Amino acid sequence: MDESRRDFLKKFGFALLSVGGGFPLLRTIASASEKELRTGAAVSTQWGMVIDIQKCLSEQVRRACIEACNREHNVPEIPDPEEEVKWIWSETYEDAFPEGIHPYTADYLKGKPVLVLCNHCTNPPCVKVCPTQATWKREEDGIVMMDMHRCIGCRYCIAGCPYGARSFNWRDPRPYIKGDLTPFPTRAKGVVEKCNFCAERLRKGQEPACVAAVKNIPGMEGALTFGDLYDPNSEVSRVLRENHTICRKVSLGTGPNVFYIV
Amino acid sequence: MLEQAFQGTKRYWTLVGFWVLVIVAGTAAFSHQLIKGLTVTGMSRDVAWGLYISQFTFLVGVAASAVMVVLPYYLHNYKKFGRMVILGEFLAVSAVVMCALFIFVDLGQPRRVLNVLLYPTLNSVMFWDSVVLMGYLVLNLVIGFVTFDAERKGAPPSTWIKPLIYLSIPWAISIHTVTAFLYSGLAARPFWMTAILAPRFLASAFASGPSLLIILALILRKYTRFDPGKEAIQKLGTIVAYAMVVNLFFVLVELFTALYSDLPHHMHHFEYLFMGLHGKSTLAPWMWVSGLLTVAAVVLLVIPKVRKQENLLAIICLAVIVSIWIEKGMGLIVTGFIPSPLGGITEYTPTGPEITITIGVYGIGFLILTLLYKIVVSVREKTEQIR
């Protein structure tokens, strides 16, 4: 190969590399600074939830929540506990609140089931670690969203979440979906998923499926309360003002937006 | 120069053929994993990372350790490493390739791997890790080939390579530091969230990498006419001795902080690692073997008389590699997940397909290493005949 051709190829390769490598990076930097400007304006909404632990001791309530969610989002029911996909489920009080127990914890809490789900944190560690922005905190309403089409399945977010709120599709979930499919898109194997606070229902002005399911059970009003934490007149804000509530692992600074009445 | 990889003795082709067989088996297992999903591995809801990410972590260390020959040779002008440097650089090349492959086979959606570059995310350590690893691969390939080509022609290398060589020194430190940051920045995993993780990674890397290099050098001397030099091997032995002592010190510092402070959520992981929790203790015997090998290696390494006998040194180096492989390649990653944030104790054992894929990736790495070392050996044999 003569020198000038070699030289040209070298330069061309370098130009190609810098364009290919540089543009996405520039775009990210640009959008990062843009984001800063936009968050400067107050976020108008932060969806949040209050769970009344005592009311949710009712097996019927918990089952209604979990089944409504699974149906709404086509969550598979995989028998192997090591590969389960869970959006909202029950854990014992001590596993949900490892810092809230001691040897003399009252019997009405010790070993009792508590509903847990994604906390839609104010400062979500899962969002921080994601290498592809497949999960992000939605600016208009604070929901921690998930793009299952962008997720590469590295499971860094699972390592980063202190609540175990994220599930990975170890296998194709579709054969394990019970009953007829609902409109919510089913997932492929190899991606991470989790509770989305029913973003698809909120868009239509409906409450999350779990909250709606409980409303139909007589005497269980207020087992789950959902609403805008930034609106002082919302039901959820009233419940938070009037009750002593706790959240999971506050000391980690993640700022959970799911609260519990003990 | 490259043509040297395509001509060789029967023994050379047997070795190449062996790696190819290993790679074929690995590829078959990987296709099985592609079809079925990561369910074919031993990983689970609780233990989200296993053998693949552990090997990645171990091999980043091997890659970074090239700096232990580059630094004395180029910064301190330690001439005895003249024939060793290229071995270190090419070992780094094959190690980084394996690192990238281990990340790739661990992905749930490997076809989307380029999303990391399409949507570069500055706040994700994983983005930075892929940047520094790819940079390190390019640096070592370029530096290795340019300096070696110059040596072959009997001329000093072009001056433009010097800044790249100097850059490669802090860059080597950076790859293992950023890899440690992948884990040590997670508040959800107290086992990893320790400032000493990066220094520990570097210390264990500078012990295991040069150990591997010593063994490779001894193999080359035995089976080829190329001799990296007795003194160079001894100097590497000294480096392994220092690194292993520092490594042991760092581990003890870590253990003291965790055990004396008695913080339950930090302690539980160590309890699991060394004793087992709730009767689950798969890793404990391995960790004790690792600990004993570490102590034995340190004791033997600090005695110059022992270290100076090459046969003994080779055995000690093997002990160092095994001990650090158990610690990083088995214990470190998995234990971060046990117990889980919800208190679950799910143990992890790799499956057959998972182990086959892992061996397949090592096969690719060792094939690359074999080809690169073949080039080095053949060229050196020739130039030495002429002189």
Distance, C-alpha A153 to centroid of its chain: 16
Q: Please state, as a whole number, how many other Cβ atoms lie within 10 Å of the Cβ of residue B74.
A: 18
A162 touches chain B (CB under 8 A): yes
Query: What's the number of domains chain A is made of?
Result: 1
Residue-wise DSSP of B65-132 = TTHHHHHHHHTS--GGGGGTHHHHHHHHHHHHHHHHHHHHHH-SSGGGTTHHHHS--TT-HHHHHHHH
Q: Do B37 and A170 touch (CB under 8 A)?
A: yes
For chains A and B, what is the number of CB pairs under 8 angstroms?
146
Q: In whole angstroms, what is the distance from residue B384 CA to residue A141 CA? A: 72
In percent, how much of chain B has pLDDT > 70? 99
Residue A16 confidence (pLDDT): 57
Q: Do A131 and B341 touch (CB under 8 A)?
A: no
Three-state DSSP class for residue B151: helix
Residues whose CB is less than 8 angstroms from the CB of residue A42 and which lie 6 or more positions away in sequence, other chains included: none
Q: Are B233 and B312 in contact (CB under 8 A)?
A: no
Q: Please state, as a whole number, how many other Cβ atoms lie within 10 Å of the Cβ of residue B124.
A: 24
Residue A71 lies in a domain: yes
**Which has the closest alpha carbon to A3: B146, B139, B147, A11?**
A11
Query: For residue B207, what is the domain's CATH number?
Result: 1.20.1630.10
Question: Chain A residue closest to B188 (CA)?
Answer: A162
Query: For residue A111, what is the domain's CATH number?
Result: 3.30.70.20
Counting other chains too, the contacts that A172-176 makes at CB distance below 8 Å and 24 or more residues apart are A172/B37, A173/A76, A173/A78, A173/A85, A174/A76, A175/A76, A176/A76, A176/A77, A176/A78
Q: Do A156 and B126 touch (CB under 8 A)?
A: yes
Residue B6 confidence (pLDDT): 86
Three-state DSSP class for residue B282: coil
Band (pLDDT 50/70/90 cuts) for residue B352 is very high
Residue A74 lies in a domain: yes
**Which has the closest alpha carbon to B61: B220, B259, B199?**
B199
**Which has the closest alpha carbon to A140: A30, A226, A47?**
A47
Q: Are B40 and B31 in contact (CB under 8 A)?
A: no
Three-state DSSP class for residue A74: coil
Computed over every residue of chain A, the mean pLDDT equals: 89
Which residue type is seen at B97? V
**Which has the closest alpha carbon to B233: B143, B311, B172, B145?**
B311
Residue A205 lies in a domain: yes
B43 touches chain A (CB under 8 A): yes
Residues whose CB is less than 8 angstroms from the CB of residue B49 and which lie 6 or more positions away in sequence, other chains included: A155, A159, B43, B106, B333, B334, B336, B337
Q: How far is B341 from chain A (nearest CA, A)?
A: 6
Band (pLDDT 50/70/90 cuts) for residue A38 is very low
Band (pLDDT 50/70/90 cuts) for residue A29 is low
Highest mean pLDDT among A22-31, A35-44, A239-248, B260-269: A239-248
In percent, how much of chain A has pLDDT > 70? 84
Q: In whole angstroms, what is the distance from residue A142 CA to residue A120 CA? A: 7
Residue B2 confidence (pLDDT): 80
Cβ contacts (< 8 Å) between B130 and chain A: which residues?
Answer: 131
Band (pLDDT 50/70/90 cuts) for residue B384 is confident
Q: How far is A216 from chain B (nearest CA, A)?
A: 30
Region A16-31: what's the mean pLDDT? 58
How do A135-137 and A245-246 pair as beta strands? unpaired
Residues whose CB is less than 8 angstroms from the CB of residue A139 and which lie 6 or more positions away in sequence, other chains included: A38, A39, A43
Q: Quote the ipTM score.
A: 0.92
Residue A40 confidence (pLDDT): 40
Residue-wise DSSP of B205-247 = HHHHHHHHHHHHHHHHHHHSS----HHHHHHHHHHHHHHHHHH
Residues whose CB is less than 8 angstroms from the CB of residue B228 and which lie 6 or more positions away in sequence, other chains included: B83, B84, B87, B217, B220, B221
Q: Are A90 and A116 in contact (CB under 8 A)?
A: yes
Which residue type is seen at B138? V
Q: Is a pLDDT exceeding 70 seen at residue A43?
A: no
A13 touches chain B (CB under 8 A): no
Which residue type is seen at B299? V
Query: What's the number of domains chain B is made of?
Result: 1
Q: How far is A184 from chain B (nearest CA, A)?
A: 21
Question: Residues B74-110: pLDDT tens digits?
Answer: 999 999 998 899 999 999 999 999 999 999 999 999 9
Residue A44 confidence (pLDDT): 78
Q: Do B107 and A169 touch (CB under 8 A)?
A: no
Q: Is a pLDDT exceeding 80 seen at residue A24?
A: no
Q: In whole angstroms, what is the distance from residue B202 CA to residue B61 CA? A: 7
Choose from B107, B119, B126, B266 for mutation: most chain A CBs within 10 A: B119
Region B37-41: what's the mean pLDDT? 97
Computed over every residue of chain B, the mean pLDDT equals: 94
Q: Is a pLDDT exceeding 80 seen at residue B121?
A: yes
Residue A7 lies in a domain: no
Interface of A with B in 82-121 (CB under 8 A): 82-84, 91, 94-96, 98
Interface of A with B in 14-33 (CB under 8 A): 21, 24-25, 28-29, 32
Owner of token pair 């690192």? B99
Residue A26 lies in a domain: no
Residue B1 confidence (pLDDT): 77
Residues whose CB is less than 8 angstroms from the CB of residue B70 and which lie 6 or more positions away in sequence, other chains included: B85, B88, B89, B165, B168, B169, B172
Question: Residues A165-184: pLDDT tens digits?
Answer: 999 999 999 999 998 999 99
- Name the token pair of A69: 């969610």
Question: Residues A60-86: pLDDT tens digits?
Answer: 999 999 999 999 999 999 999 999 999
Band (pLDDT 50/70/90 cuts) for residue A93 is very high
Cβ contacts (< 8 Å) between A152 and chain B: which residues?
Answer: 107-110, 112-113, 115-116
Region A200-221: what's the mean pLDDT? 93
Alpha helices in B262-283 (DSSP H): 264-274
User: Domain limits at A120?
Assistant: 43-261
Least confident of B28-32, B195-199, B381-385: B381-385
Question: Residues B210-256: pLDDT tens digits?
Answer: 999 999 999 999 998 888 889 999 999 999 999 999 999 999 999 99
Residue A37 confidence (pLDDT): 42
Cβ contacts (< 8 Å) between B267 and chain A: which residues?
Answer: none
Band (pLDDT 50/70/90 cuts) for residue B335 is very high
Q: Are B314 and B215 in contact (CB under 8 A)?
A: yes
How do A258-261 and A47-52 pair as beta strands? parallel
Region A184-195: what's the mean pLDDT? 97
User: Domain limits at B284?
Assistant: 2-386
Residue A7 confidence (pLDDT): 66
Q: How far is CA A181 from CA A72, A77, A178, B253, in A?
A: 9, 13, 8, 55
Of A131, A168, A254, the CB nearest to B127: A131
Question: Residues B201-210: pLDDT tens digits?
Answer: 999 999 999 9
Residue B7 confidence (pLDDT): 86
Residue A1 confidence (pLDDT): 47
Q: How far is CA B1 from CA A7, A261, B55, B227, in A?
A: 21, 73, 32, 19
Interface of B with A in 322-351 (CB under 8 A): 336-337, 340-344, 346
Q: How far is A205 from chain B (nearest CA, A)?
A: 32
